[in-house]
Amino acid sequence: MLLLRLAWRNVLRNRRRTILTLLSMVGGYVIVTLVLSVNYGSYDQMLEQYTRDSIGHVQVTADQYLDRPRLQRTVPVDESLRGQLSQAQGVRMLTPRLESGALAYGEERSLPVEVRGVEPDQEDRLSRLSNRLSAGRYLSAERDGHGQHEALIGARVARQLDLEPGADLVLIAQGADGSLANELYTVVGILGDTEAVESRWVVLPLAAAQDFYVLPDQAHRWIILGDDFQRAERLAAAVRSSLAGDANWADNALQVSPWQVVAREFYETMQADQQGGMIASYILIFLVCIGVLNTILMSVMERTGEFGVLKAIGTPPHRLFGMIVLETLVLATLACGLGFLLAWPINLWLTLVGIPMSEPIEVSGLYFSHFRGRMSWDMFAIPTALVWFTALLVALYPATRAARLTPLDAMRRL
Amino acid sequence: MQASIQRKASADPTADVVFETRELSRHYGSGDTLVKALDQVSLTIAPREFTAIVGPSGSGKSTLLQLMGGLEAPTAGEVYLRGQAISAMSGRDLSDFRRDHIGFIFQAYNLIPVLTAAENCEYIMLLQGVPKAERQARVDSMLNRVGLSGKADRRPAQLSGGQQQRVAVARAMVSQPDIILADEPTANLDSQTGSDLLDMMHELNRREGMTFVFSTHDPMIMERASRLIQLRDGRIESDEVRA
């Protein structure tokens, strides 16, 4: 306690210098917190949209389907499995999807397309697909007046094949049984624009897609949405538990994967990008460090004589070393405390309100209208650890210098 | 003269010898620029002595005190405290030894400015690992003995020079060392304050048996000293034991 008191009083010794150093450390802390928060907040927005609109939080697929997707690697679509999945803790919504490729024909041209068989109502609730309509109306599960199933097509498909809502679309592919599949559909709506992710999609009702690919009561993915994409691992574990009694699960025929596994490359790229975004913060902390180093070094040099006395009366080198480090950590702790008090309300505002952009920006087909922060413990823990670690680092040289002083030489500077 | 000075020197630690130096030398520079600050000084200090090392500037008295305190390594010779060779120690051993066996009083008081009088005394016991309650009791008692019981919470800047030096005496004694080495302790004090301080130290010496060794020019210390060692050019010129 006396050592802590000594450190605290030494920190307060030259108040003006301490305040200036504290200001730079607090400034560094706040800026790093906010940079981190906006950085993570942006990714949160992106991932929230991406998982919600595209891949869900967790997927149930046939074993090896994610690594090597094949038409025949399917999961059952039945009430038993749906019930089991729905009962897993944290599951908010789920829907099956059948996915494969086909050749689409218009009046004069053909185009390879990505076919998705969905349950229209469930899919819309889960991925808000109808929000992406740029023309026509949303899909229904029923056949139209001509006995044809309805289809939504991507904007590129519409342009290449010169199709509009109301037009006929022909799909040709190979069925799961090896037969040649071909069918006529009525286009009811067009999705997004030609640059959108769904520009080459053809979306069919699930039953139509199952008929087309000869996959009765089958699909390729169960898409599951929980409350938070950040808790996907926990959700996946709950889904695995709920499947414990399922025969397919027992045969290792099913695989439960959180979105980080489903979109592994995307996840890894995003993490690398996040680290890249932190470089500016590291540079900032480095600059703050130089200021702190200067303060500590000045403080040590000014007190060289005093250290000589301390050593003369029996303070061992490691105690003196510890004393300087303790003083620096006291300063760092004070900076972190003040920084937290300042950064917390700003970060809260950033998270809840955010900074509106003059125009929404589009990144990989996802649109953002606000810069938003993330309010979580790590937004404060990372800067705290950074400030502490760097303070410790910059204290090493002055502390070593003080510890190595010979008492007599040091006392000559009194 | 050297023979008479070595009258108490012995190889083994004995109860009647606190300190011993043997052929102690400290040289600076080399060749033409060689300075013999201390040259083959041998002496012993007995318990309860109130010894003054005197001599003109450059005679080597401060150097002798520094070597005795392990603050400097000798060029040649040995220093023993209670039979242990200080000159063979280094680093942490030497720090610990100084902490536990030697009390220092400096000319410029050299208290830690951010600590109170009580905390300055407590600090060294903290290094010794003395329990908090005992530290507190010893500090109270010691400050009382040096006449500063009402000023325990004052920092050095809030005390007069004489009071600061009393705190320095308390700090030196509170760790219960074998010997106190005082380097010109009255040099920065007016004569009355210096005299009062010396009376106090003399009283502590007589009443509590604390061994003091002073390096000084001050006639007041010389008057009170039970032994007067005169140095000149790094060698002992005289060694007078008084009744």
Tens digit of each residue's pLDDT (9 = 90 or more) over A170-213: 999 999 998 998 999 999 999 988 888 889 999 999 999 999 99
* E strand or H helix at A169: strand A168-174
Residues A306, A216 share a domain: no
Number of alpha carbons in the 13 Å side-chain half-sphere of residue A338: 16
Per-residue pLDDT of chain B (243 residues; tens, 9 = 90+): 333 333 333 344 445 788 899 999 999 988 888 889 999 999 999 999 999 999 998 899 999 999 999 888 899 999 998 888 987 887 788 888 899 999 999 888 889 888 999 999 999 998 899 999 999 999 999 899 888 888 999 999 999 988 999 999 899 989 889 899 999 888 888 888 889 888 888 988 888 888 999 999 889 999 999 999 999 999 999 999 886
Size of interface A-B (CB pairs under 8 A): 67
User: For testing the chain A interface, which of B93, B97, B99, B112 should be mutated: the one with the most A CBs within 10 Å?
Assistant: B112
In A, which residues are within 8 Å of B112 by CB distance? 6, 306, 309-310
Given a contact cutoff of 8 angstroms between Cβ atoms, the answer to whether A119 and A240 are in contact is no
**Interface contact flag, A316 B96, Cβ < 8 Å:** yes
User: Chain B closest CA to A6's CA: distance in Å?
Assistant: 7
According to the model, what pLDDT value does residue B6 have? 36
Residues A212, A103 share a domain: yes
Query: Which residues lie below 8 Å from residue A94, measured CB to CB, with a gap of 6+?
Result: A56, A82, A85, A86, A122, A126, A222, A223, A224, A225
Given a contact cutoff of 8 angstroms between Cβ atoms, the answer to whether B111 and B168 are in contact is yes
Query: Which residues lie below 8 Å from residue A124, measured CB to CB, with a gap of 6+?
Result: A130, A138
Residues A198, A169 share a domain: yes
Residues A325, A224 share a domain: no
When CB atoms are compared, the residue of B66, B99, B114 closest to A10 is B114
Q: Is A5 on the interface with B (CB under 8 A)?
A: yes
Rg value, chain A, Cα:
31
Q: Could you give the dihedral angle defined by the CA atoms of residues A23, A29, A31 and A32, in that order, rounded to the nearest 10 degrees?
A: 160
User: Of A246, A262, A278, at which residue does a domain stop?
Assistant: A262
User: Of A227, A262, A297, at which residue does a domain stop?
Assistant: A262
* Residues 11-40 of chain A whose Cβ lies under 8 A from any Cβ of chain B: 12-13
Nearest CA in chain B to A314: B99
Q: Which residue range(s) make up the domain with B52? A: 2-241
Residues A257, A282 share a domain: no
Residue type for A249, please? Answer: W
According to the model, what pLDDT value does residue A236 have? 94
Nearest CA in chain A to B72: A408
Residues A370, A398 share a domain: yes
Q: Is A56 helix (H, G, I), strand (E, B) or coil?
A: coil
When CB atoms are compared, the residue of B96, B106, B115 closest to A314 is B96
User: Shortest CA distance to A141 belongs to which of A128, A160, A123, A157?
Assistant: A123
According to the model, what pLDDT value does residue A290 have? 82
Residues A358, A257 share a domain: no
CATH number assigned to the domain comprising residue B11: 3.40.50.300
In B, which residues are within 8 Å of A316 by CB distance? 92, 95-96, 99, 127
Nearest CA in chain A to B104: A313
Burial class (CB in 10 A: 0-12, 13-18, 19+), A367: exposed
When CB atoms are compared, the residue of B98, B108, B119 closest to A313 is B98
**Interface contact flag, A13 B108, Cβ < 8 Å:** no
Residues A64, A29 share a domain: no
Residues A243, A176 share a domain: yes
Domain count, chain A: 2
Q: Which residue range(s) make up the domain with A323? A: 2-51+270-411
According to the model, what pLDDT value does residue A363 have? 65
Nearest CA in chain B to A313: B99
According to the model, what pLDDT value does residue B243 have? 65
Residues A252, A194 share a domain: yes
Residue type for A303, please? Answer: R
Can you give the pTM of this predicted structure?
Answer: 0.71
Query: Does A142 score more than 60 pLDDT?
Result: yes
Residues A13, A91 share a domain: no
The structure tokens listed for A108 are: 């004069």
The ipTM value here is 0.85
User: Of A234, A262, A290, at which residue does a domain stop?
Assistant: A262
Query: Which residues lie below 8 Å from residue A401, measured CB to CB, with a gap of 6+?
Result: A297, A300
Taking the C-alpha atoms of residue A106 and residue A163, their distance in angstroms, rounded to an integer, is 7
Domain count, chain B: 1
When CB atoms are compared, the residue of B72, B122, B127 closest to A319 is B127
**Interface contact flag, B92 A411, Cβ < 8 Å:** no
Q: Is A244 on the interface with B (CB under 8 A)?
A: no
Residue type for B13, please? Answer: P
Query: Which residues lie below 8 Å from residue A376, measured CB to CB, with a gap of 6+?
Result: A40
Residues A378-400, mean pLDDT to the nearest whole number = 89
**Interface contact flag, B110 A316, Cβ < 8 Å:** no
Given a contact cutoff of 8 angstroms between Cβ atoms, the answer to whether A386 and A32 are in contact is yes
Q: Is A70 on the interface with B (CB under 8 A)?
A: no
User: Shortest CA distance to B108 belongs to which of A312, A309, A298?
Assistant: A309
When CB atoms are compared, the residue of B119, B122, B124 closest to A314 is B124
User: Chain B closest CA to A327's CA: distance in Å?
Assistant: 13
Residues A249, A379 share a domain: no
